[in-house]
Amino acid sequence: LTQPTIKLNDGRAIPQLGFGVWQVPKDGAAAAVGSAIAAGYRSIDTAAIYGNEVGVGEAIKASSVPRDQLFVTTKLWNDRHDHDVALKAFDSSLGRLGLGYVDLYLIHWPVPSVGAYVQAWKALIKLRQDGRAKSIGVSNFNPDHLQRIIDETGVVPAVNQVELHPRFQQRGLRQFHAEKGIATESWSPLGQGQFLEDAAIGAIARKYGKTPAQVIIRWHLDNGLIAIPKSVTPSRIAENLAVFDFHLDADDLAKIATLDDAKGRIGPKPEAF
Ligand code: NAD
Protein backbone atom coordinates (compact mmCIF):
# COMPACT_ATOMS: atom_id res chain seq x y z
CA LEU A 1 0.00 0.00 0.00
CA THR A 2 1.79 3.13 -1.14
CA GLN A 3 0.09 6.20 0.19
CA PRO A 4 0.70 9.77 -0.90
CA THR A 5 2.75 12.03 1.34
CA ILE A 6 3.23 15.78 1.59
CA LYS A 7 6.76 17.14 1.77
CA LEU A 8 7.20 19.48 4.72
CA ASN A 9 9.37 22.61 4.83
CA ASP A 10 11.86 20.80 7.09
CA GLY A 11 12.49 18.09 4.48
CA ARG A 12 10.38 15.43 6.18
CA ALA A 13 7.22 13.84 4.75
CA ILE A 14 3.78 13.34 6.31
CA PRO A 15 1.20 10.84 5.04
CA GLN A 16 -1.56 12.81 3.36
CA LEU A 17 -4.23 10.72 5.08
CA GLY A 18 -4.18 10.03 8.80
CA PHE A 19 -6.44 8.86 11.60
CA GLY A 20 -7.86 11.37 14.12
CA VAL A 21 -8.83 10.34 17.64
CA TRP A 22 -10.62 13.36 19.16
CA GLN A 23 -13.59 12.12 21.23
CA VAL A 24 -12.36 8.54 21.02
CA PRO A 25 -12.78 7.49 24.66
CA LYS A 26 -9.65 6.57 26.57
CA ASP A 27 -10.82 2.94 26.90
CA GLY A 28 -11.59 2.61 23.20
CA ALA A 29 -8.51 4.34 21.82
CA ALA A 30 -6.23 1.29 21.69
CA ALA A 31 -8.86 -0.72 19.79
CA ALA A 32 -9.67 2.11 17.36
CA VAL A 33 -6.03 2.91 16.63
CA GLY A 34 -5.27 -0.81 16.41
CA SER A 35 -7.90 -1.27 13.73
CA ALA A 36 -6.69 1.84 11.92
CA ILE A 37 -3.10 0.59 11.80
CA ALA A 38 -4.30 -2.87 10.74
CA ALA A 39 -6.38 -1.25 7.97
CA GLY A 40 -3.27 0.54 6.72
CA TYR A 41 -3.22 4.01 8.32
CA ARG A 42 0.31 5.09 9.12
CA SER A 43 -0.43 8.51 10.67
CA ILE A 44 -2.25 9.07 13.98
CA ASP A 45 -3.41 12.46 15.28
CA THR A 46 -3.95 12.80 19.03
CA ALA A 47 -3.53 15.56 21.64
CA ALA A 48 -2.87 15.83 25.36
CA ILE A 49 -6.41 17.19 25.87
CA TYR A 50 -8.00 14.16 24.15
CA GLY A 51 -7.06 12.06 27.19
CA ASN A 52 -6.25 9.03 25.05
CA GLU A 53 -2.49 9.21 24.45
CA VAL A 54 -2.00 6.08 26.60
CA GLY A 55 -4.35 4.04 24.39
CA VAL A 56 -2.74 5.41 21.22
CA GLY A 57 0.67 4.34 22.57
CA GLU A 58 -0.61 0.88 23.49
CA ALA A 59 -1.88 0.31 19.97
CA ILE A 60 1.44 1.45 18.50
CA LYS A 61 3.36 -0.87 20.81
CA ALA A 62 1.04 -3.81 20.02
CA SER A 63 1.27 -3.35 16.25
CA SER A 64 3.85 -5.09 14.10
CA VAL A 65 4.49 -1.90 12.12
CA PRO A 66 7.98 -0.52 12.90
CA ARG A 67 7.99 2.81 14.71
CA ASP A 68 9.80 4.57 11.88
CA GLN A 69 6.95 3.71 9.51
CA LEU A 70 4.39 5.43 11.72
CA PHE A 71 3.78 9.18 11.92
CA VAL A 72 2.54 10.24 15.36
CA THR A 73 1.20 13.73 16.09
CA THR A 74 0.26 15.14 19.47
CA LYS A 75 -0.46 18.65 20.73
CA LEU A 76 0.35 21.07 23.54
CA TRP A 77 -2.75 22.19 25.45
CA ASN A 78 -3.75 25.81 25.97
CA ASP A 79 -2.79 26.18 29.65
CA ARG A 80 0.81 25.10 28.99
CA HIS A 81 2.21 27.94 26.86
CA ASP A 82 4.90 29.03 29.31
CA HIS A 83 8.26 27.86 27.86
CA ASP A 84 9.35 25.52 30.67
CA VAL A 85 5.81 24.33 31.36
CA ALA A 86 5.51 23.44 27.66
CA LEU A 87 8.70 21.36 27.81
CA LYS A 88 7.29 19.45 30.79
CA ALA A 89 3.94 18.97 29.05
CA PHE A 90 5.79 17.46 26.10
CA ASP A 91 7.62 15.04 28.42
CA SER A 92 4.28 13.99 29.90
CA SER A 93 2.77 13.36 26.46
CA LEU A 94 5.79 11.32 25.39
CA GLY A 95 5.54 9.34 28.64
CA ARG A 96 1.85 8.61 28.12
CA LEU A 97 2.50 7.58 24.52
CA GLY A 98 5.45 5.45 25.63
CA LEU A 99 7.52 6.79 22.73
CA GLY A 100 11.02 8.19 22.37
CA TYR A 101 9.91 10.90 19.93
CA VAL A 102 6.87 12.20 18.11
CA ASP A 103 6.84 12.95 14.41
CA LEU A 104 4.90 16.18 14.80
CA TYR A 105 4.19 18.36 17.84
CA LEU A 106 1.65 21.16 17.50
CA ILE A 107 0.58 24.14 19.59
CA HIS A 108 -3.13 23.26 19.80
CA TRP A 109 -4.57 26.83 19.82
CA PRO A 110 -2.89 30.24 19.85
CA VAL A 111 -4.97 31.60 22.80
CA PRO A 112 -4.21 35.25 21.93
CA SER A 113 -5.94 36.43 25.12
CA VAL A 114 -3.05 34.89 27.07
CA GLY A 115 -0.54 35.93 24.42
CA ALA A 116 2.19 33.39 25.27
CA TYR A 117 2.21 31.37 22.04
CA VAL A 118 5.63 32.76 21.04
CA GLN A 119 7.03 31.31 24.29
CA ALA A 120 5.38 27.99 23.48
CA TRP A 121 6.80 28.12 19.95
CA LYS A 122 10.32 28.64 21.34
CA ALA A 123 9.84 25.48 23.44
CA LEU A 124 8.81 23.53 20.34
CA ILE A 125 11.91 24.82 18.50
CA LYS A 126 14.03 23.44 21.35
CA LEU A 127 12.23 20.07 21.15
CA ARG A 128 12.97 19.86 17.46
CA GLN A 129 16.64 20.76 18.03
CA ASP A 130 16.79 17.93 20.58
CA GLY A 131 15.25 15.53 18.04
CA ARG A 132 12.34 14.63 20.30
CA ALA A 133 9.80 16.25 18.00
CA LYS A 134 10.93 15.53 14.45
CA SER A 135 8.70 18.25 13.02
CA ILE A 136 6.91 21.13 14.74
CA GLY A 137 3.86 23.10 13.82
CA VAL A 138 0.74 24.82 15.04
CA SER A 139 -3.01 24.42 14.96
CA ASN A 140 -5.80 26.96 14.65
CA PHE A 141 -3.38 29.82 13.92
CA ASN A 142 -4.63 32.78 11.87
CA PRO A 143 -2.22 34.60 9.53
CA ASP A 144 -1.39 37.23 12.17
CA HIS A 145 -0.45 34.53 14.71
CA LEU A 146 1.68 32.74 12.12
CA GLN A 147 3.40 35.95 11.07
CA ARG A 148 4.20 36.79 14.69
CA ILE A 149 5.99 33.50 15.48
CA ILE A 150 7.86 33.68 12.18
CA ASP A 151 8.95 37.29 12.83
CA GLU A 152 10.03 36.60 16.41
CA THR A 153 11.87 33.30 15.85
CA GLY A 154 12.61 32.98 12.14
CA VAL A 155 11.19 29.44 12.26
CA VAL A 156 8.24 28.73 9.96
CA PRO A 157 5.88 26.01 11.24
CA ALA A 158 5.84 22.87 9.10
CA VAL A 159 2.08 22.50 9.45
CA ASN A 160 -1.00 24.49 10.47
CA GLN A 161 -3.86 22.14 11.37
CA VAL A 162 -7.17 23.98 10.99
CA GLU A 163 -10.88 23.33 10.57
CA LEU A 164 -11.34 22.66 6.87
CA HIS A 165 -14.03 20.82 4.90
CA PRO A 166 -16.23 21.53 1.86
CA ARG A 167 -18.48 23.86 3.91
CA PHE A 168 -15.47 25.80 5.25
CA GLN A 169 -12.67 25.77 2.70
CA GLN A 170 -10.26 28.35 4.17
CA ARG A 171 -9.10 29.66 0.79
CA GLY A 172 -7.45 32.81 2.16
CA LEU A 173 -5.52 30.94 4.84
CA ARG A 174 -4.43 28.28 2.34
CA GLN A 175 -3.05 31.00 0.08
CA PHE A 176 -1.09 32.44 3.01
CA HIS A 177 0.26 28.96 3.83
CA ALA A 178 1.35 28.49 0.21
CA GLU A 179 3.28 31.77 0.29
CA LYS A 180 5.06 30.75 3.52
CA GLY A 181 5.66 27.06 2.76
CA ILE A 182 3.33 25.80 5.50
CA ALA A 183 1.42 22.55 4.87
CA THR A 184 -2.34 22.71 5.53
CA GLU A 185 -3.85 19.90 7.60
CA SER A 186 -7.65 19.64 7.69
CA TRP A 187 -9.35 18.90 11.00
CA SER A 188 -12.97 17.73 10.98
CA PRO A 189 -12.34 16.93 7.31
CA LEU A 190 -15.80 15.31 7.08
CA GLY A 191 -17.43 18.29 8.81
CA GLN A 192 -18.01 15.89 11.70
CA GLY A 193 -20.33 13.94 9.42
CA GLN A 194 -22.84 16.79 9.27
CA PHE A 195 -23.23 17.05 5.49
CA LEU A 196 -22.62 13.52 4.25
CA GLU A 197 -26.24 13.70 3.00
CA ASP A 198 -25.51 16.73 0.81
CA ALA A 199 -27.14 16.19 -2.61
CA ALA A 200 -24.17 17.41 -4.67
CA ILE A 201 -21.73 15.20 -2.75
CA GLY A 202 -24.17 12.28 -3.12
CA ALA A 203 -24.38 12.72 -6.89
CA ILE A 204 -20.58 12.77 -7.20
CA ALA A 205 -20.32 9.69 -4.98
CA ARG A 206 -22.72 7.76 -7.24
CA LYS A 207 -20.73 8.76 -10.31
CA TYR A 208 -17.53 7.18 -8.94
CA GLY A 209 -19.20 4.29 -7.10
CA LYS A 210 -17.81 5.72 -3.86
CA THR A 211 -19.39 6.86 -0.59
CA PRO A 212 -19.91 10.54 0.35
CA ALA A 213 -17.17 10.25 2.99
CA GLN A 214 -14.74 8.89 0.39
CA VAL A 215 -15.57 11.73 -2.02
CA ILE A 216 -14.91 14.35 0.67
CA ILE A 217 -11.63 12.73 1.71
CA ARG A 218 -10.62 12.55 -1.96
CA TRP A 219 -11.45 16.27 -2.28
CA HIS A 220 -8.91 17.03 0.47
CA LEU A 221 -6.24 14.88 -1.20
CA ASP A 222 -6.89 16.35 -4.65
CA ASN A 223 -6.46 19.82 -3.13
CA GLY A 224 -3.05 18.97 -1.68
CA LEU A 225 -4.36 18.95 1.89
CA ILE A 226 -3.54 16.55 4.73
CA ALA A 227 -6.73 15.00 6.18
CA ILE A 228 -7.30 13.14 9.46
CA PRO A 229 -10.84 11.72 9.50
CA LYS A 230 -12.07 10.03 12.67
CA SER A 231 -14.24 6.98 13.18
CA VAL A 232 -14.41 4.22 15.76
CA THR A 233 -16.32 1.86 13.45
CA PRO A 234 -13.92 -0.61 11.79
CA SER A 235 -15.88 -0.67 8.50
CA ARG A 236 -15.78 3.15 8.26
CA ILE A 237 -12.13 3.25 9.31
CA ALA A 238 -11.38 1.02 6.31
CA GLU A 239 -13.82 2.89 4.02
CA ASN A 240 -12.13 6.23 4.75
CA LEU A 241 -8.78 4.81 3.63
CA ALA A 242 -10.09 3.30 0.38
CA VAL A 243 -9.58 6.50 -1.57
CA PHE A 244 -6.34 5.89 -3.45
CA ASP A 245 -7.93 4.36 -6.55
CA PHE A 246 -9.72 7.42 -7.97
CA HIS A 247 -9.47 11.19 -8.52
CA LEU A 248 -12.19 13.82 -8.74
CA ASP A 249 -12.32 15.48 -12.14
CA ALA A 250 -12.24 19.26 -12.65
CA ASP A 251 -16.05 19.48 -12.90
CA ASP A 252 -16.56 17.76 -9.58
CA LEU A 253 -13.87 19.85 -7.89
CA ALA A 254 -15.64 22.96 -9.23
CA LYS A 255 -18.99 21.75 -7.87
CA ILE A 256 -17.54 21.13 -4.42
CA ALA A 257 -15.86 24.56 -4.52
CA THR A 258 -19.34 26.12 -4.60
CA LEU A 259 -20.28 24.48 -1.26
CA ASP A 260 -17.95 26.86 0.63
CA ASP A 261 -19.92 28.95 3.11
CA ALA A 262 -18.64 31.87 5.19
CA LYS A 263 -20.90 30.59 7.97
CA GLY A 264 -19.75 26.99 7.61
CA ARG A 265 -17.37 26.95 10.56
CA ILE A 266 -18.32 24.33 13.16
CA GLY A 267 -15.67 24.90 15.84
CA PRO A 268 -14.55 28.01 17.75
CA LYS A 269 -12.91 31.03 16.16
CA PRO A 270 -9.15 30.89 16.88
CA GLU A 271 -9.01 34.59 17.77
CA ALA A 272 -11.62 34.13 20.50
CA PHE A 273 -10.89 30.68 21.92
P1 NAD B 1 -14.54 14.27 11.20
O2 NAD B 1 -14.85 15.34 10.23
O3 NAD B 1 -13.41 13.38 10.99
O4 NAD B 1 -15.90 13.43 11.36
C5 NAD B 1 -15.95 12.31 12.19
C6 NAD B 1 -17.39 11.82 12.28
O7 NAD B 1 -17.92 11.58 10.97
C8 NAD B 1 -17.47 10.47 12.98
O9 NAD B 1 -17.60 10.64 14.37
C10 NAD B 1 -18.69 9.84 12.36
O11 NAD B 1 -19.86 10.33 13.00
C12 NAD B 1 -18.65 10.38 10.96
N13 NAD B 1 -18.00 9.46 10.00
C14 NAD B 1 -16.67 9.18 9.86
N15 NAD B 1 -16.46 8.35 8.84
C16 NAD B 1 -17.67 8.10 8.29
C17 NAD B 1 -18.10 7.32 7.19
N18 NAD B 1 -17.22 6.65 6.44
N19 NAD B 1 -19.42 7.29 6.93
C20 NAD B 1 -20.31 7.96 7.68
N21 NAD B 1 -19.97 8.73 8.72
C22 NAD B 1 -18.66 8.80 9.03
O23 NAD B 1 -14.51 14.96 12.64
P24 NAD B 1 -13.48 15.16 13.83
O25 NAD B 1 -13.29 13.94 14.63
O26 NAD B 1 -13.95 16.39 14.53
O27 NAD B 1 -12.10 15.55 13.14
C28 NAD B 1 -11.12 14.58 12.79
C29 NAD B 1 -9.88 14.74 13.62
O30 NAD B 1 -9.37 16.06 13.53
C31 NAD B 1 -10.11 14.59 15.13
O32 NAD B 1 -10.32 13.25 15.50
C33 NAD B 1 -8.85 15.20 15.66
O34 NAD B 1 -7.77 14.30 15.53
C35 NAD B 1 -8.68 16.38 14.72
N36 NAD B 1 -9.25 17.64 15.30
C37 NAD B 1 -8.39 18.62 15.66
C38 NAD B 1 -8.84 19.81 16.19
C39 NAD B 1 -7.89 20.89 16.54
O40 NAD B 1 -8.28 21.86 17.20
N41 NAD B 1 -6.63 20.79 16.16
C42 NAD B 1 -10.23 20.00 16.37
C43 NAD B 1 -11.11 18.99 15.98
C44 NAD B 1 -10.60 17.81 15.44
Average pLDDT value for the chain: 97
CA of 19 to the centre of ligand 1 (A): 9
What is the number of the ligand 1 atom nearest to the C-alpha of 24?
A: 32
Summarize pLDDT for 132-144 with one digit per residue, the tens: 999 999 999 999 9
Q: Is residue 202 part of a domain?
A: no
pLDDT of residue 53 exceeding 60, the answer is yes
What is the number of the ligand 1 atom nearest to the C-alpha of 21?
A: 32
Closest-CA residue, ligand 1 atom 36, reads 187
Per-residue confidence (pLDDT) for residue 2, from 0 to 100: 74
Closest-CA residue, ligand 1 atom 6, reads 192
Q: Is residue 271 part of a domain?
A: no
Give CA–CA dist 78/111, Å, rounded.
Answer: 7
Q: Where are the alpha helices (DSSP H) in the chain?
A: 29-39, 53-62, 83-97, 117-129, 143-153, 171-180, 199-208, 212-222, 234-239, 250-257
Tell whether 108 is in a known binding site.
Answer: yes
Q: To the nearest whole percent, how much of the chain has pLDDT over 90?
A: 99
Determine the Cα angle at 14 with ends 13 and 16, to 5°.
125
Q: Is 50 a catalytic residue?
A: yes
Q: Is residue 169 part of a domain?
A: yes
Mutating to test ligand 1, I would choose from 190, 211, 240 the residue with most ligand atoms within 8 A of its C-beta, which is 190
Q: Phi and psi dihedrals of 9, rounded to 5?
A: -70, -5
Closest-CA residue, ligand 1 atom 3, reads 229
Contacts of 18 (CB under 8 A, 6+ apart): 41, 42, 43, 44, 45, 71, 73, 226, 227, 228
Per the structure, the count of domains in the chain is 1
Q: Is residue 174 part of a domain?
A: yes
Q: To the nearest whole percent, how much of the chain has pLDDT over 70?
A: 100
Among the options 41, 50, 105, 117, which is catalytic? 50
Alpha-carbon distances, residue 101 vs 2, 25, 146, 206, 210 (angstroms): 24, 23, 25, 43, 37
Per-residue confidence (pLDDT) for residue 222, from 0 to 100: 98
Q: Is residue 6 part of a domain?
A: no
Residues with CB under 6 A from ligand 1: 20-22, 45, 108, 139-140, 161, 187-193, 196, 213, 228-231, 236, 239-240, 267
C-beta of residue 136 within 8 angstroms of C-beta of residue 104? yes
Range of the domain at 179: 11-193+221-232
Would you say the C-alpha torsion 7, 35, 107, 195 has a positive or negative sign?
positive
pTM: 0.98
Give CA–CA dist 198/93, Å, rounded.
Answer: 38
Q: Is residue 256 part of a domain?
A: no
C-beta of residue 160 within 8 angstroms of C-beta of residue 177? yes
C-beta of residue 218 within 8 angstroms of C-beta of residue 240? no
pLDDT of residue 13 exceeding 70, the answer is yes
Query: Can you tell me the ipTM of this complex?
Result: 0.99
Report, as an integer, the average pLDDT of 106-123: 98
Report, as an integer, the average pLDDT of 65-73: 97
Per-residue confidence (pLDDT) for residue 1, from 0 to 100: 52
Q: Is residue 268 part of a domain?
A: no
CATH classification at residue 184: 3.20.20.100
Per-residue confidence (pLDDT) for residue 30, from 0 to 100: 97
CA of 207 to the centre of ligand 1 (A): 24
